[in-house]
Amino acid sequence: MTCILHVAVQTPAHSGVGDLLSYQHTEALAPGTLVRVPLGQREVLGVVWDALPGEPLPAMAQLRPVAGVLAGLAPLDAAWRRLVAFAARYYQRGLGEVALAALPPQLRELGPEQLARRLRRPAAPAQDAPDAPETTETIALSAEQQSVCSQIASQPGPFLLYGSTGSGKTEVYLHSVQAALARDPAAQALVMVPEINLTPQLEARFRARFAPLYGAGSVVSLHSGMTNPQRLASWLAAHSGRARIVLGTRMAVFASLPGLALIVVDEEHDASYKQQEGARYSARDLALWRGREQGAKVILGSATPSLESWHASRPPTPEDPQGGRYLRLHMPSRIGAGALPRLRLVDMAQQPRGAVFSPPLLAAMTERVERGEQCLVLLNRRGFAPVLHCHACGWKSDCPHCSAHQVFHKTDRSLRCHHCGFAQRVPRACPGCGNLDIAPVGRGTEQLEEQLAALLRNVITPARRAARVARIDADTTRAKGALEEQLAQVHAGEVDVLVGTQMVAKGHDFRRITLVAAVQPDGALFSSDFRAPERLFALLMQAAGRAGRDARYMEAQASQPEMWVQTWHPDHALFAALRRHDYPAFAAQQLGERAQAGMPPFAFQALVRADARTQETAQAFLQAAGDAARATPLPGLEQVFIFPPVPLAVQRVANVERAQMLLESTSRTALQRFLAAWQPLLHAERARHKGLVRWLVDVDPQAI
C-alpha cells in the first residue's frame, strides 16, 4: 500500500515553496519520523509532519518517493512539533526552515545506514568533563533561598527570580532541578545561559551535584562551540531521555526533551537570547511558551531583569488587581552577608585633560594591588582605537566595504572592520596626503591594557613581584581553550588587573576581585536605541557584581568592594539608581517613559529589513510593500502603524545597502495577523525589485 507523507524540509528562505512537501512511501510513518527525501537534485533530511487542516491531497503519480527512513530513532514528539510550528508562525519563517535548523548539523547529513552505525556506538563520555565525585555535595540554603525554593515547589509559575549578584541564584537552580528530577524518574531539565563562555563553569557545578546521583552521562551541553559529533551525541542523549539535564545557549530551547519538567533561563535579560540570523527567535520567550505548553515550570533569573519580564511580574495593586503573569521572587542579600559594592562616580570634567584613568581611580587600584587584591576594568570596545585619523587632510580608516571605520589593532598592526571582517595592514603614511603622522582616535581594550601596564609597572604585590595586567576579549580568546586558560590564571591570582569587554562582566565568580571600574560608559546614555539605558544599567550592575563575591576573603582583607564609574554626566538619573543598587527605581522610571511613548512592553513591534545593491532600491521595496499593505487592506491594518523606511545606523555592510521599516501595534494579535497576511505581498514586491538581495521580518526586535 502506497501512502502520502507530508514532510518538512529546509527550503531556501522566502522561496515561496510552502511549509510542507508531499512524498509517497510504501507505508505510513508516524509524524516526527526523520526521513531522507529528494529535493531538486539533492537528497535532504526531512521530518514527517501532521497534515495541515484543509490541505488538498496531490495526485500520487506526481509524487517522488521517500529515499530512506532513519529507523532506530524515536519520532520527534508532538510537543516538539508544536513548539517548532509556533516559532515558525510567530517569527514569520518557514516551518521546515525552523524544524531542520533545530536539529544537529551532523544529523542533517546522515543517511539511514550511517545513523544506524552511529546509534550502535556506546555513548561517549562528556568532552572535557571533570571527574565526578563519588558523593554529591550538600550546601545549606539560606533563609531567602529556602523561601524561594518552597514557592517554586508549591506554585505553578512562571517565576522571575530577581536576586542581587552573589545572592546564590545558581544554588536555587540546582535545588529546583534536583527536586524536579527526584519527583519523576523520567523528568528532564533544561538550563540555559546567554553565552558559550559561561557554560563550562556552570557545567562543572551541575556535574558535581548530579553525576553521583544519575551517572556521568546525565548532564550534557548544547552550544555552537561544540564540534558537530559532540552536538549530535548530546542531542541523542537528550532525545532518548538518557540525559536528565541539558545545559546550553539559546539553541538548546529547541532540544528534543520528551520528559521536560523544568526550564531555567539564567541572566534572562541578556540580548544574546535573541537570534540575529535566520529565524530571529527569542529563546527566553520560546522557553516560556514551551513551559506553558508542556506543563514544565519556568524560572527566569537575573539581578537586572528585562523590563518586559519586570512588567510581567508586577504584583497586584488596587489599580491593577490582576497584576502580571509571572510570580516575582526576590533575593536581595548576598551569600555570607557580603556587602554590595559601593559606587564611586568620577566627574571627568574635573580631572586632568586627556586622562584615561583619573588620579583617584589609579590610586585606588594601586592600593588594591599592593594588598594582593584584584581589579577589573570594563570597556565594551575591543581593539586599540576605534579609528585612525590624519589631522592634516581629515582621512579616517574607513572600511571600503561598509559605512563604518576600520578598528586599529596594535598587536598585529592591522586595521579590521568588525562588521564585514575585512582586514589590512596599517599604512605607513596617510593614503590621502602622505602625512606620516596618523594617530589613533578613541580607546579600546588593547590601549587600556597597554596604558595600565605602564602606569602600574612600579607597583609591587605582596608576593614581591610587579603588577600583572591581562586582557580578555574576543581577540584574545579566538584560539580553542584560550578563554579557559586565561580565566584559570585570574582565579589562581596570577593576574592583578583584568581588562575586558562585557564577556567578563557577567556570570563569572571571581573570588579576589574587590574593585571594578567602568571607563567610558556614557555613549549609551544618549543612544537613539530606546533600550540602550536598560542595557547599560544591566551591564554596570552585572560588572559591579564581580566585586566582593567572597565575604570571607573580604573580611580577611579588611576590605570593602567598590565600583568606580568615570563619566561626564555624574548627575544622570541612571547613575543615581546605580549608586543605590536600586533596580526597581530604575525600572519604574524607564517603564514610565515607555508607557508615555507607547513603547514595549506597552506596545509590540516588528522590523522589516531590506538588503539591496543600492539604498534607493532597499527603501523603494519597503515603501512599495507598505503601500501594498494599505491598498489591500490587510487584516489588522487598522491597529498597526507603519513607519516610513529609513537606513540602518550602519547602512552599508560588505557592499550591501540596508534599510528598515518599523511596524508597531498595541495588539500583539493584530500585528501577527497583519504580518501573516503580508507575506504574499512581500514575495510579490521582491519580484518587482531586481536589485533586492534579501528581506527579512524581525518580530520583537532587540535593537532598532
CATH of residue 18: 3.40.1440.60
Q: 199-202: which pairs have CB atoms within 8 A and are 24 or more residues apart? A: 199/223, 199/225, 199/247, 199/248, 199/249, 200/128, 200/484, 201/507, 201/508, 201/509, 202/170, 202/247, 202/266, 202/507
Q: In the predicted model, is pLDDT for residue 438 greater than 50?
A: yes
Rounded to an integer, the average pLDDT of 613-635 is 93
Give the three cell numbers for residue 395. 582621512
Note whether 284 and 213 are same-domain residues. Answer: yes
Q: Which residue has the higher pLDDT, 537 or 164?
A: 537
Amino acid 104: pLDDT: 93
Q: In the predicted model, is pLDDT for residue 371 greater than 70?
A: yes
Q: In the predicted model, is pLDDT for residue 49 greater than 90?
A: yes
Buried b (16+ CB within 10 A) or exposed e, 182-210: eeeeebbbbbbbbbbbbbbbbbebbbbbb
Element (H, E) at 647: strand 646-653
Residue 135 included in any domain: no
State whether residue 591 is helix, strand or coil.
Answer: helix
Q: Which residue has the cell 535579560?
A: 269
Give the three cell numbers for residue 115. 545513523
Whether omega before 158 lies within 30 degrees of 0, making that bond cis, reads: yes
Q: Which of 555, 578, 596 represents a domain boundary (last residue)?
A: 596
State whether residue 290 is helix, strand or coil.
Answer: helix
Amino acid 592: pLDDT: 94
C-beta neighbour count of 125 within 10 angstroms: 10
Q: What's the pLDDT tens digit per position in 643-659?
A: 999 999 899 999 999 99
Element (H, E) at 3: strand 3-9
Contacts of residue 573, defined as CB under 8 A and 6 or more positions apart, other chains included, come to 586, 589
How far is 700 from 274, CA to CA, in rounded Å? 9
C-beta neighbour count of 342 within 10 angstroms: 15
Of 282, 284, 286, the C-alpha closest to 301 is 284
Amino acid of residue 697: V
Contacts of residue 549, defined as CB under 8 A and 6 or more positions apart, other chains included, come to 165, 166, 334, 338, 509, 510, 511, 513
Residue 626 included in any domain: yes
Q: 419-426: which pairs have CB atoms within 8 A and are 24 or more residues apart? A: 419/650, 419/653, 419/654, 420/653, 420/654, 426/388
What is the pTM assigned to this prediction?
0.90
Note whether 186 and 325 are same-domain residues. Answer: yes
Note whether 353 and 458 are same-domain residues. Answer: yes
CA distances from 357 to 352, 370, 553 (A): 10, 18, 27
- Bridge partners of 407, per DSSP, are 416
Amino acid 129: pLDDT: 43
Q: In the predicted model, is pLDDT for residue 638 greater than 90?
A: yes
Categorize the per-residue pLDDT at 130 as very low, low, confident or very high, splitting at 50, 70 and 90.
very low
How far is 186 from 326, CA to CA, in rounded Å? 27
Note whether 402 and 460 are same-domain residues. Answer: no
In terms of residues, how long is the chain? Answer: 704
Residue 704 included in any domain: no
Categorize the per-residue pLDDT at 339 as very low, low, confident or very high, splitting at 50, 70 and 90.
confident
Amino acid 57: pLDDT: 66
375 is in an annotated binding site: no
Count up the domains in the chain and report the number: 5
Note whether 370 and 417 are same-domain residues. Answer: no
Q: Which residue has the higher pLDDT, 478 or 614?
A: 614
399 is in an annotated binding site: yes
Contact 517, 455 (CB under 8 A): no
Categorize the per-residue pLDDT at 157 as very low, low, confident or very high, splitting at 50, 70 and 90.
confident
Q: What's the pLDDT tens digit per position in 549-596?
A: 777 888 888 888 999 999 999 999 899 999 888 899 999 999 999 999
What does the mean pLDDT of the chain come to?
89
Give the three cell numbers for residue 408. 586599529
Amino acid 128: pLDDT: 46
CA angle 676/24/84 to nearest 5° reads 35
Amino acid of residue 680: P
Alpha helices, H only, 121-198: 143-154, 169-183
Q: In the predicted model, is pLDDT for residue 478 greater than 60?
A: yes
CA distances from 590 to 282, 308, 526, 600, 621 (A): 22, 11, 14, 11, 35
Sheet arrangement for strand 374-378:
342-347, 562-567, 513-518, 374-378, 497-500, 469-472
Domain CATH for 291: 3.40.50.300
Q: What's the pLDDT tens digit per position in 662-704?
A: 999 999 999 999 999 999 899 888 888 888 889 999 999 998 8
Among 52-61, 84-93, 128-137, 573-582, the least confident range: 128-137
Q: In the predicted model, is pLDDT for residue 56 greater than 70?
A: no
Residue 128 included in any domain: no
Contacts of residue 576, defined as CB under 8 A and 6 or more positions apart, other chains included, come to none
Note whether 278 and 155 are same-domain residues. Answer: yes
Give the three cell numbers for residue 386. 576605534
433 is in an annotated binding site: yes
Buried b (16+ CB within 10 A) or exposed e, 261-289: bbbbbbbbbbebbbbeeebbbbbbbbbbb
Amino acid 479: pLDDT: 81
393 is in an annotated binding site: yes
Contacts of residue 444, defined as CB under 8 A and 6 or more positions apart, other chains included, come to 379, 381, 382, 383, 384, 385, 386, 407, 408
Q: In the predicted model, is pLDDT for residue 338 greater than 70?
A: no
Give the three cell numbers for residue 21. 512537501
Residue 125 included in any domain: no
420 is in an annotated binding site: yes
Residue 663 included in any domain: yes
Contact 629, 678 (CB under 8 A): yes
Note whether 417 and 290 are same-domain residues. Answer: no
CA angle 152/157/158 to nearest 5° reads 115
Of 102, 95, 111, the C-alpha closest to 76 is 102
CA distances from 349 to 63, 207, 441, 452, 522 (A): 74, 50, 19, 21, 13
149 is in an annotated binding site: no
Categorize the per-residue pLDDT at 127 as very low, low, confident or very high, splitting at 50, 70 and 90.
very low
R_g (Cα) of the chain, nearest Å: 27
Residue 233 included in any domain: yes
How far is 31 from 51, CA to CA, in rounded Å? 9
Residue 258 included in any domain: yes
How far is 667 from 480, CA to CA, in rounded Å? 46
Note whether 437 and 550 are same-domain residues. Answer: no
Contact 168, 162 (CB under 8 A): no
Note whether 359 and 463 are same-domain residues. Answer: yes
Among 53-62, 80-89, 198-207, 418-427, the least confident range: 53-62
Q: In the predicted model, is pLDDT for residue 134 greater than 80?
A: no
Contact 620, 608 (CB under 8 A): no
Q: What's the pLDDT tens digit per position in 271-303?
A: 999 998 888 999 999 999 999 999 999 999 999
Of 283, 352, 318, 367, the C-alpha closest to 557 is 367
How far is 412 from 423, CA to CA, in rounded Å? 11
Residue 426 lies in domain: 386-443
Amino acid 185: pLDDT: 92
Amino acid 88: pLDDT: 93
How far is 377 from 552, CA to CA, in rounded Å? 23
Whether omega before 601 lies within 30 degrees of 0, making that bond cis, reads: yes
CA angle 548/549/550 to nearest 5° reads 95
Note whether 558 and 665 are same-domain residues. Answer: no
- Bridge partners of 7, per DSSP, are 21, 48
How far is 609 from 408, CA to CA, in rounded Å? 30
Q: In the predicted model, is pLDDT for residue 307 greater than 50?
A: yes
Note whether 206 and 105 are same-domain residues. Answer: no
Q: Which of 544, 577, 596 represents a domain boundary (last residue)?
A: 596
Q: Which of 428, 443, 458 represents a domain boundary (last residue)?
A: 443
Q: In the predicted model, is pLDDT for residue 59 greater than 80?
A: no
Amino acid 119: pLDDT: 83
Contact 579, 659 (CB under 8 A): no
Note whether 235 and 355 are same-domain residues. Answer: no
